[in-house]
């Protein structure tokens, strides 16, 4: 018997649980039904028929609910039900959180793999971020940074003649002002003294008084106005001031420079930040030097900076410079060599482009991103692999009335929870790793998550973005399961996402192969450079600095004094030591205008003043002629120069070694003289640069360094004796020494840093990828338990099962290798361009990388696979 | 029966027109539309009531609960001045649209027939 009241109240109770409808809505609908029923019965229908009709006019529940849902938010806001709604939402949020936590806790293996991978990935990313930020902040602390350019001579020479600055400032309206910095201490450490405290200062530079108009170096005492106007004035950095004066008042005091010239200190500036390409400690007025009033073109020793009026005038300024230089060459004015140009270089590009750190930054950023993506892929992979297990949960939830959106929110919640937990761990990891990282990278970045204004926002954005990237696919996939479909099945079958997982595994291993190949190429190139003979003997050589007039003049006496020490086998004074032989001269040769009055046959060669024992101390291999003749009374004078030249020089000119000896050459500055011998090429600069023609010649007034060849072995007591002798022959001068091999090592520091960092991060990337694979393998083994049982029951052996388990993975890794190898080849070929002496990119390096990746992958999954293969079929099939 | 997009597009002008004759409750509006159209406009409650809420939040109608003698109270809707304005605008649009269609098809032609 149909009872209207009961039917209506059942309907009402059902609807009142629906969150889309408010009580008023239900009441209105109820009245609608009652009106409808009344009308129907008035037409003569039975109560039941009338009720059916009424329900029909209400429409189906799903349609009703979704229509009401559309207007829901407008209603609650207008009816001040917002608070209630928020409370409900946050209750649900707490519920999501509880379920998420429960799920994560129940699957500890899965959770720890994800957290480990994500936090390692995030920590790497954070460190790399700090590194990149540090690199990008170079030279940007100057107020006018965007408007400053440095002038270069040709492509590579950063120092220019004194005339460049004033000439360009006069000719180009774009140039507001210019400043020259003469890095004297860089060429030869300068002895600076105050009373008893004496130091060799390699940071003693001269600068135009305009230097503080161009650059912003904050003053802590004195003022930038006119600080370097007068001759014999200087500005020092804070730590230099403290070194000489302690905490005393510094401005107005004097320091004694070189052989006793007194410089008055007119200002103290903050220490030059590490992120400045130019580093100095003492800046003396340019007007103190003899260069100040001489605008000359044939001696390039000065950094010249121009301050443009506007940053966008760079192009037009360069155009006018080119024009000017062309005119000057045509008129023969200034004597600029034909192949030289004056190039303007933006200050903010010096670090990244000119010094090549930009490549480094790009490589690092890419590695950081790749590591992060690998960790995300792990999450996505494992979450979808586990989807089968959760399919039933989704089914039941949907049946109980959960919407797709709610479920998606829950799965997003789970990924967010995991990601933010990993972030917290990552902060700890980064904190712990920042010191070792600084050591490897040669940096001094500071990781201060709380005080650094950038870190927290970046972390939050990162957390949200990663939660989204990693959680998107699983959330979409899981929440769209159809209840009827997933509940009918046992819940064991794979529920999709398989193809997508393969794509991700291929991606991870493509990155792995790429990084492995990159690491190997870098390693091979490093050892190639280390194993390549330098062409001279770098071991057991102590290097002292003799850059003052008195020591230079008496270099023979000084050498004799050191040679008295047992254990010192040789001594040689030079202008600069191998690896750092930068000075260049224009050269003319006999038969082609030897006097050098015209451009004919002019070549640029490396010219290094050295004494008569240089070949012996460096162990140079003579291929023709002798070393410098030992002639006690010899003094270099025009026409009477003596040269040793390298093989490249004579080949460049077109002579053969034997006939070269005795010929005449002339290095710019009236240095006509005779070639005494030819030596085999040695690497007088870093191996990034190709060996160019070089000439050594005796010129004592340019000597800066004294090399002492020791017998080897322990140098401890020997150093004491060397110091004792030093204080006899060079009283009052600081005793500072270094070793030739240490200095050579320093040339490749940045290369070694690249190698070390790329190596470490590559290993981490591989490690994280393997973590994911391990998780996948255990799920695969679990899912295929029955298949394996049946196969074993039918006679398959352990080996066959193992091969079955890894064949799929092998295929994926090989596909990954096919994708990664061309990319790696291309990128690494580009990197090797930076080296004049480089390895060939052999195919086997890449094959080796691919095989290593395969080996790592198979090793990772083999435990799970073998365990699966060894399972007794009785165990796995028992419950069928 | 009309297609779904047409029904939803015409919902607002029809409802507002009915209300412009005097206040009414939901069931009444639905019945009136049904009668007017000879049974062609058969809305469901899920279409009508959410629309009424929307009109109310837009300020085109107001509502009031009134007690009833035979059974629970009813919610009556009344058109506002805003509602009248919206109705005028709707009317103009429909008339313009209709004129265009007539111009396309000719006054006597049924849809689907081509002109010459």
Residues in chain B: 116
Q: Are residues A406 and A328 both part of a single domain? A: no
d(CA B102, CA A699): 106
**What residues of chain A lie within 8 A of the CB of B42, using their CB?**
57
**What's the mean pLDDT in A168-177?**
89
Decide if pLDDT at A653 tops 50: yes
Which of the four pLDDT bands, split at 50, 70 and 90, describes residue A21?
A: confident
Which CATH number is B28's domain given? Answer: 1.10.10.10
What Rg, from alpha-carbon coordinates, does chain A have? 39
Tell me how far apart the alpha carbons of residues A381 and A321 are, in angstroms, rounded to a whole number.
59
Query: Residue A633 and residue A642: Cα distance in Å, rounded?
Result: 14
Higher-confidence residue of B96 and A864: namely B96
In a domain, B41, yes or no: yes
Write down how long chain A is. 880
Q: Are residues A383 and A296 in the same domain?
A: no
- Across the interface, do A68 and B31 touch by the CB < 8 Å criterion? no
pLDDT at residue B114, as a whole number? 47
Q: Is B32 part of a structural domain of the chain?
A: yes
- Pick from A790, A55, A45, A783: which is nearest to A391 by CA? A783
Whole-number percent of chain A with pLDDT over 90: 18
Task: Judge whether B115 lies within some domain.
Answer: no
Question: Quick one: pLDDT at residue B92?
Answer: 93
CA distance B78 to chain A (A): 15
What contacts A187, CB < 8 A, 6 or more positions away? A301, A576, A704
Residue A392 sits in the same domain as residue A433 = yes
Element (H, E) at A674: strand A671-679
Question: Choosing among A22, A31, A61, A70, which should be mutated to test the B contact, i.e. which has the most B CBs within 10 A?
Answer: A31
Q: Which residue has the tokens 């050892």?
A: A527
Q: In this structure, how many other beta carbons lie within 10 angstroms of the beta carbon of residue A701?
A: 11
pLDDT, residue A489, reads 62
* DSSP H or E run through B102: helix B81-105
Q: Is residue B114 part of a domain?
A: no
A36 contacts B47? CB cut-off 8 A: no
**A297: pLDDT strictly greater than 60:** yes
Residue B110 lies in a domain: no
Q: Does the pLDDT at position A303 exceed 70?
A: yes
Q: In degrees, to the nearest 5, what angle opens at C-alpha A350 toward C-alphas A345 and A355? A: 125
Is A724 part of a structural domain of the chain?
yes
What is A566-626 written as a DSSP string? TTEEEEEEESS-TT----EEEEEETTS-TT--SSTT-EEEEEEEB-TTHHHHHT--EEEE-
pLDDT at A217: 92
Q: State whether B57 and A75 contact (CB < 8 Å).
A: yes
Number of structural domains, chain B? 1
Closest-approach residue (CA) in chain A for B72: A31
Sheet holding A705-710: strands in order across? Answer: A568-574, A705-710, A541-545, A737-739
3-state secondary structure A468-502: HHHHHHHHHHHHCCCHHHHHHCCCCCCCCCHHHHH
Inter-chain residue contact B72 with A58, CB threshold 8 Å: no
Give the closest residue to A125 by CA, choosing from A361, A336, A371. A371
Per-residue pLDDT of A218-275, as tens digits, reads 999 888 888 898 999 999 999 999 989 988 888 999 999 887 889 999 999 999 988 8
Exposed, middle or buried by CB within 10 Å (0-12, 13-18, 19+), for A299?
A: middle
Q: Give the pLDDT confidence score for residue A490 in this predicted structure.
A: 53
DSSP β-ladder status, A671-679 and A622-625: antiparallel
Q: Which of A340, A367, A402 is the last residue of a domain?
A: A340
Residue among A151, A182, A145 at smallest CA distance from A320: A151
| B113: in domain | no
Give the residue from A779, A759, A799, A771 showing the smallest Cα distance to A856.
A771
pLDDT tens digits, one per residue of A792-830: 888 888 888 888 888 888 898 899 999 999 999 998 998
Domain finish residue from A51, A79, A107: A79
pLDDT higher than threshold 90 for residue A708: yes
Indicate whether A489 and A521 sit together in one domain. yes
Band (A337; pLDDT cuts 50, 70, 90): low
Question: What's the alpha-carbon Rg for chain B, to the nearest Å?
Answer: 17
A226 conformational bin, left if phi > 0, alpha if psi -120 to 50, beta if neither? left
A95 in helix, strand or coil? Answer: helix
Contact A2, A51 (CB under 8 A): yes
A34: closest chain B residue by CA = B71
The last residue of one of the domains, among A674, A699, A732, is A732
Looking at every residue in chain B, the average pLDDT score rounds to: 85
pLDDT > 50? residue A491: no
Whole-angstrom Cα distance, residue B113 to residue A305?
83
Query: A204-207 and A282-285 as β-strands: parallel, antiparallel, unpaired?
Result: parallel
Q: Do B49 and A28 touch (CB under 8 A)?
A: yes
The verdict on residue A144 lying in a domain is no
Task: Annotate A409-440 with three-state secondary structure.
Answer: HHHHHHHHHHHHHHHHHHHHHHHHHHHHHHHH
The answer to whether residue A853 is domain-embedded is yes
Helix (H) or strand (E) holding A737: strand A737-739
Q: What digits encode the pLDDT tens for the residues A113-149?
A: 888 889 999 999 999 888 888 888 888 889 888 899 9
What pLDDT score does A259 carry?
78
Convert the pLDDT of each residue in B73-100 to its tens digit: 889 999 999 999 999 999 999 999 988 9
* Mean pLDDT along residues A783-793: 82
Residues A728 and A767 in one domain: no
Closest residue to B72, CB basis, from A30, A63, A67: A30
Centre a 10 Å sphere on the Cβ of residue A34 and count the other Cβ atoms it contains.
Answer: 20
Q: In terms of domains, do A569 and A702 share one?
A: yes
Shared-domain flag, residues A193 and A272: yes
Same structural domain, A322 and A245: yes
The answer to whether A325 and A341 are in contact (CB under 8 A) is: yes
Contacts of A473 (CB under 8 A, 6+ apart): A380, A383, A384, A497, A500
Query: Please, what sign has the CA dihedral across residues A818, A823, A826, A828?
Result: negative
> Which one of A4, A24, A32 would you mutate to disrupt binding with B, by most B Cβ within 10 Å of its Cβ?
A32
pLDDT score for A79: 57
How many whole angstroms separate alpha carbon A524 and alpha carbon A232? Answer: 52
Q: What is the pLDDT of residue B116?
A: 40
Cα separation, A364 vs A830, whole angstroms: 15
Whether A30 and chain B come into contact, CB under 8 Å, resolves to yes
Q: Which of A240-244, A864-868, A875-879 has the lowest mean pLDDT?
A: A875-879
pLDDT value at residue B108: 62
Distance from CA of B86 to the nearest CA of A (A): 19
> Which of A12, A55, A57 should be substituted to probe chain B, the one whose Cβ sees the most B Cβ atoms within 10 Å?
A57
**Contact between chains at B71 and A59 (C-beta distance less than 8 A):** no
Which residues in chain B have Cβ-Cβ distances shorter than 8 Å to A27? 72-73, 75
Give the pLDDT of residue A208: 92
| Tokens (6 digits) for A683 | 């690497």
Please indicate if any CB of chain B lies within 8 Å of the CB of A75.
yes
The residue ranking higher by pLDDT, A384 or A271, is A271
Report the sign of the C-alpha dihedral through residues B14, B20, B21, B22, in that order: positive
Comparing CB atoms, the residue among B28, B45, B53 nearest residue A71 is B53
Which residues, listed in sequence order, are joined to residue A542 by a DSSP beta bridge? A708, A739
Are A723 and A560 in contact, with CB atoms under 8 Å apart? no
> Are residue A596 and residue A715 in the same domain, yes or no?
yes
Tell me which residue of A258, A253, A250 sits closest to A185, measured CA to CA. Answer: A258
Number of structural domains (chain A) is 4
Kindly list the distances between the CA atom of residue A868 and the CA atoms of A55, A670, A803, in Å, as whole numbers in the listed order.
58, 85, 12
Evaluate whether residue B29 is within a structural domain. yes
Which pLDDT score, from 0 to 100, does residue A821 have? 93
As a whole number, mean pLDDT of residues A776-787 equals 79
* Residue given tokens 């691919």 in the structure block: A850
Residue B72 lies in a domain: yes
Q: Does the pLDDT at position A336 exceed 70?
A: no
Q: For residue A36, list chain B residues with Cβ-Cβ distance below 8 A.
A: 27
In a domain, A622, yes or no: yes
Number of helices (H), then strands (E), belonging to chain A: the values are 30, 23
Query: Average pLDDT for residues A656-682, to the nearest whole number?
Result: 89
The owner of tokens 């009477």 is A640
Query: Residues A434, A313: one domain?
Result: no
In chain A, % of residues over pLDDT 70: 96
pLDDT, tens digit (0-9, with 9 covering 90-100), for A345-380 = 888 888 877 777 787 788 888 888 889 889 888 888
- Mean pLDDT, chain A, rounded, equals 85
The per-residue pLDDT for A275 is 86
Residue A302 has what DSSP assignment? B
Average pLDDT over residues A392-405: 78
Structure confidence at residue A879 as a pLDDT band (50, 70, 90): low
Residues of chain B in contact with residue A53, where contact means CB-CB under 8 angstroms, are: none
CA of residue A720 relative to chain centroid, distance: 41
Side-chain-side CA neighbours of A466 within 13 Å: the count stands at: 33
CA A844 to chain centre: 27
End-to-end CA distance of chain B: 30
* DSSP structure class, residue A350: I
Report the predicted TM-score, pTM, of the whole model to 2 decimal places: 0.69
pLDDT tens digits for A422-468?
999 999 999 999 998 888 887 888 888 888 888 888 888 988 888 88
* DSSP H/E element including A527: helix A498-531
CA angle A242, A243, A249 (to 5 degrees): 35
- The answer on A694 and A656 residing in a single domain is yes
**Is residue A680 one of the residues assigned to a domain?**
yes
**3-class SS at A18?**
coil
Same domain, A718 and A576: yes
Contacts of B30 in chain A (CB under 8 A): 32, 57
Contact A74 B45 (CB under 8 A): no
Task: Look at residue A139 and tell me if it is in a domain.
Answer: no
Q: Which residue range(s) make up the domain with B71?
A: 4-105
Residue A196 CB coordination number (10 Å): 6
Q: What is the pLDDT of residues A592-638, one digit of tens each?
A: 878 777 777 778 888 999 998 999 999 999 998 888 876 777 888 88
Q: Among A69-78, A347-356, A861-870, whose mean pLDDT is lowest?
A: A69-78
Please check the confidence at residue B115 and state whether its pLDDT lies above 50.
no
Q: How far is A84 from chain B (nearest CA, A)?
A: 19
| Domain around A45 | 4-79
DSSP per-residue letters across A178-218: EEEEE-HHHHS-EEEEETTEEEEETTEEEE-TTHHHHS---
How far does the CA of residue B30 sit from the closest CA of chain A (Å)? 9
């Amino acid at each position: 018997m149909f009872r209207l009241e009961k039917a209506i109240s059942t309907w009402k109770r059902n609807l009142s649980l629906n969150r889309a409808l408010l009580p008023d809505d239900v009441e209105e609908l109820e009245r609608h039904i009652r009106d409808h029923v009344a009308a129907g019965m008035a037409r003569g229908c039975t109560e039941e028929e009338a009720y059916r009709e009424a329900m029909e006019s209400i429409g189906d529940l799903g349609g009703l609910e979704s229509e009401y849902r559309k207007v829901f938010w407008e209603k609650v806001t207008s009816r001040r039900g917002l608070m209630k709604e928020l409370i409900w939402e946050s209750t649900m949020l707490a519920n999501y959180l509880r379920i998420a936590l429960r799920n994560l806790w129940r699957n500890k293996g899965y959770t720890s793999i994800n957290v480990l991978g994500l936090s390692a990935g995030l920590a790497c990313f954070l460190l790399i971020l700090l590194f990149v930020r540090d690199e990008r902040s170079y030279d940007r602390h100057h107020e006018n940074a965007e408007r400053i350019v440095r002038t270069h001579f040709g492509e590579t020479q950063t120092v220019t003649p004194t005339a460049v600055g004033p000439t360009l400032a006069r000719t180009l309206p774009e140039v507001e002002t210019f400043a020259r910095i003469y890095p004297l201490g860089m060429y030869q450490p300068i002895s600076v003294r105050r009373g008893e405290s004496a130091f060799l200062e390699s940071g003693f530079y001269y600068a135009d008084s305009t230097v503080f108009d161009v650059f912003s170096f904050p003053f802590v005492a004195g003022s930038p106005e006119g600080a370097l106007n007068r001759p014999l004035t200087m500005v020092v950095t804070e730590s230099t001031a403290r070194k000489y004066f302690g905490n005393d008042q510094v401005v107005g005091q004097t320091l004694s420079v070189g052989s006793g010239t007194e410089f008055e200190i007119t200002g103290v500036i903050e220490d030059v930040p590490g992120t400045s390409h130019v580093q100095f400690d003492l800046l003396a007025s340019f007007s103190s030097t003899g260069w100040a009033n001489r605008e000359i073109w044939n001696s390039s020793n000065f950094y010249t900076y121009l301050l443009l009026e506007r940053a966008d005038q760079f192009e037009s300024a360069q155009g006018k410079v080119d024009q000017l230089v062309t005119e000057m060459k045509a008129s023969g004015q200034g004597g600029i060599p034909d192949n030289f140009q004056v190039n303007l270089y933006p200050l903010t590009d010096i670090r990244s482009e000119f010094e090549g750190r930009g490549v480094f930054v790009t490589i690092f950023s890419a590695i950081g991103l790749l590591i992060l993506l690998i960790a995300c892929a792990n999450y996505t992979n494992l979450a979808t692999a586990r989807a089968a297990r959760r399919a039933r949960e989704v089914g039941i939830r949907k049946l109980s009335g959960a919407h797709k959106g709610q479920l998606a929110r829950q799965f997003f919640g789970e990924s967010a929870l995991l990601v933010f937990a990993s972030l917290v761990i990552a902060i700890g990891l980064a904190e712990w790793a920042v010191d070792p990282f600084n050591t490897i990278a040669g940096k001094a970045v500071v990781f201060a998550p709380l005080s650094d204004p950038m870190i927290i926002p970046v972390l939050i954005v990162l957390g949200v973005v990663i939660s989204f990237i990693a959680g998107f696919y699983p959330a979409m996939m899981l929440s769209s399961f159809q209840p009827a479909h997933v509940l009918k099945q046992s819940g064991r079958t794979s529920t999709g996402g398989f193809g997508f997982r393969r794509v991700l595994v291929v991606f991870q291993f493509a990155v792995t192969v790429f990084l492995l190949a990159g690491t190997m190429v870098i390693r091979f190139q490093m050892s190639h450079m280390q194993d390549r003979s330098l062409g001279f003997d770098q071991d057991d050589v102590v290097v002292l600095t003799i850059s003052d007039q008195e020591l230079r003049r008496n270099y023979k006496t000084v050498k004799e004094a050191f040679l008295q020490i047992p254990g010192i086998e040789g001594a040689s004074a030079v202008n600069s030591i191998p690896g750092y032989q930068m000075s260049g001269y224009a050269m003319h040769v006999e038969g082609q205008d030897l006097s050098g009055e015209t451009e004919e046959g002019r070549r640029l060669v490396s010219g290094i003043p050295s004494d008569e024992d240089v070949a012996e101390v460096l162990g140079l291999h003579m291929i023709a002629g002798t070393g410098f003749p030992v002639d006690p009374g010899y003094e270099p004078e025009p026409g009477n120069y003596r040269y040793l030249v390298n093989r490249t020089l004579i080949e460049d000119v077109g002579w053969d070694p034997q006939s070269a000896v005795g010929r005449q050459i002339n290095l710019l500055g009236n240095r006509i003289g005779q070639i005494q011998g030819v030596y085999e090429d040695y690497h007088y600069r870093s191996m990034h640069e190709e060996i160019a023609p070089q000439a050594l010649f005796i010129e004592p007034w340019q000597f800066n360094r004294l090399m002492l060849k020791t017998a080897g072995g322990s140098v401890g007591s020997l150093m004491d004796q060397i110091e004792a002798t030093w204080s006899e022959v060079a009283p009052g001068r600081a005793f500072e020494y270094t070793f030739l091999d240490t200095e050579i090592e320093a040339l490749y520091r940045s290369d070694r840093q690249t190698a070390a960092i790329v190596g470490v991060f590559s290993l981490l990337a591989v490690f994280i990828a393997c973590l994911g694979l391990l998780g996948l393998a255990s799920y695969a083994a679990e899912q295929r338990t029955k298949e394996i049982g049946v196969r074993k029951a039918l006679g398959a052996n352990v080996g066959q099962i193992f091969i079955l388990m890894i064949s799929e993975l092998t295929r994926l890794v090989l596909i990954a290798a096919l994708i990664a190898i061309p990319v790696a080849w291309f990128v690494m070929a580009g990197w090797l361009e930076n080296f004049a002496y480089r390895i060939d990119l052999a195919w086997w390096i890449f094959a080796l990388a691919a095989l290593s990746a395969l080996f790592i992958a198979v090793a990772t999954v083999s435990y799970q696979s073998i365990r699966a293969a060894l399972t007794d079929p009785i165990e796995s099939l028992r419950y069928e | 029966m009309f297609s779904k997009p047409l029904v939803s597009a015409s919902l607002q002008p029809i409802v507002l027109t009915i209300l412009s004759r005097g206040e009414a409750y939901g069931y009444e509006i639905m019945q009136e539309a049904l009668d007017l159209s000879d049974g062609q406009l058969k809305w469901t409650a899920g279409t009508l009531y959410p629309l009424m809420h929307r009109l109310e939040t837009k300020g085109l109608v107001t509502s009031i609960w009134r007690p009833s003698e035979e059974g629970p109270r009813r919610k009556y809707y009344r058109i506002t001045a805003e509602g009248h304005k919206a109705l005028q605008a709707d009317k103009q649009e429909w008339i313009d649209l209709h004129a265009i269609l007539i111009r396309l098809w000719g006054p006597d032609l049924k849809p689907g027939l081509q002109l010459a």
